[in-house]
Amino acid sequence: MTQPVFFGPLIMAPMAGITGLPFRQRLRRWGCGCLFTEMVSASALVRRHRATMRMADPPDRDGSLALQLFGAKADELYAAARIAADLGWERLDLNMGCPVKKVVSSGAGSALMRDLGNAARCVGAMRRGFGGGIFTVKMRSGWCQAEENFLEAAKVAEGEGADGIILHPRFKSQGYSGNADWGKIALLAASTQLPVAGSGDVRSAAEAVRRIAECGIAAVMIGRAALSRPWIFRDAARLMEGLPPLGEPSSREIADDLLLQYDDLAAERGKHVAVSDIKKFAAWAMRDFEHSSLARKAVMEIKDPEAMRRAIMSFGDGTLDFAYGGGDG
Ligand SMILES: Cc1cc2nc3c(=O)[nH]c(=O)nc-3n(C[C@H](O)[C@H](O)[C@H](O)COP(=O)(O)O)c2cc1C
């Protein structure tokens, strides 16, 4: 294999409902050079479901983007991995960590941690279906504390031909509560020959860089911290080059950037979907600013595409006047 398993040391974590094309473009503007799609259903991909094809065949597909699949049927995962290879994907990942009920109840996501026999079949099938491309597995520590098995699961994945492991060291039973246990990431890195990436609770650029060095891993993933501060990638990359971080941009820069995401969303999904989709991103962008709770509340109520545009622009002007009755107009 000539390519590194992880395209770079600083990776945006896959996040369902979030890491679609418009947000990926925004992350790239802030220096993120290594990304994953949202998780994509293998069974929907095999059926060429339209919304799934939009996720699985995006215009920004290149070596810096990995496609993540979820599923629990080896034959479907095999067929989906073949489709991924045919579409030209260079990187593919299997989700063995999702704790969401609908996913787990079908045996997929973190339910695979509970059934390593099926996990082995699924990983092996994807390996065969994907051919020679780079194939990773993203997992949790196990189903619950009494069933911690990430070391065993990583061995299974390695035995079935996976090229790298990403560990989010929480149990399925924890959901997103408690803390990610980075000691387990270091332990995994020391126990396997495969490159390891760690995911969980990285809150600052300095922490991202420190985790790589401390744990002896190839890469860190940053998820929730990048929702309100996507420039964390630029600053972490600067730190790795020995340069000082640039820190918080102005509200003008943040608003202009958010507006580009809004326009990209409108181009991809239409204006009305864009209005509802941008709300959560606007709320995250405004999080650290004065009067942010008022501003967030006002944004949540907007229904009109032009009103949303004005709201985002007024946030950039520092006026936030939409928060005081600028309304829907
Ligand atoms: C809203 C949300 C959606 C997520 N979607 C996915 C997903 O599609 N695939 C996946 O492997 N992990 C998913 N995750 C887990 C993240 O990739 C990451 O491992 C986790 O959030 C811990 O990292 P963080 O503390 O930096 O956010 C999701 C997490 C959240 C909060």
User: Which positions of the chain have pLDDT values less than 70?
Assistant: 1-2, 320-329
**What integer pLDDT is reported at residue 327 of this predicted model?**
39
* 52: region left, alpha or beta (phi > 0 left; psi from -120 to 50 alpha): alpha
Q: Is 112 exposed, middle or buried (0-12, 13-18, 19+ CB in 10 A)?
A: buried
Q: Which atom of ligand 1 is nearest to the CA of 221?
A: 26
The set of catalytic residues is 98
| CA 38 / ligand 1 centre spacing (Å) | 9
Q: Which of 40, 65, 168, 181 to mutate to test the pocket of ligand 1 (most atoms within 8 A of CB)?
A: 168
**Cα of 233 from ligand 1 centre, angstroms:** 17
Atom of ligand 1 nearest to the CA of 168: 19
Say what the pLDDT of residue 139 is.
98
- Give pLDDT, residue 321: 54
pLDDT at 48: 96
Ligand 1 in contact with 37 (CB < 6 A)?
no
Both tokens of residue 219? 């890469």
pLDDT at residue 320, rounded to an integer: 60
70 CA from centroid of ligand 1 (Å): 13
pLDDT at residue 329, rounded to an integer: 34
pLDDT at residue 287 in the model: 83
The predicted pLDDT at position 294 comes to 82
Does any ligand 1 atom lie closer than 6 A to the CB of residue 68?
Answer: yes
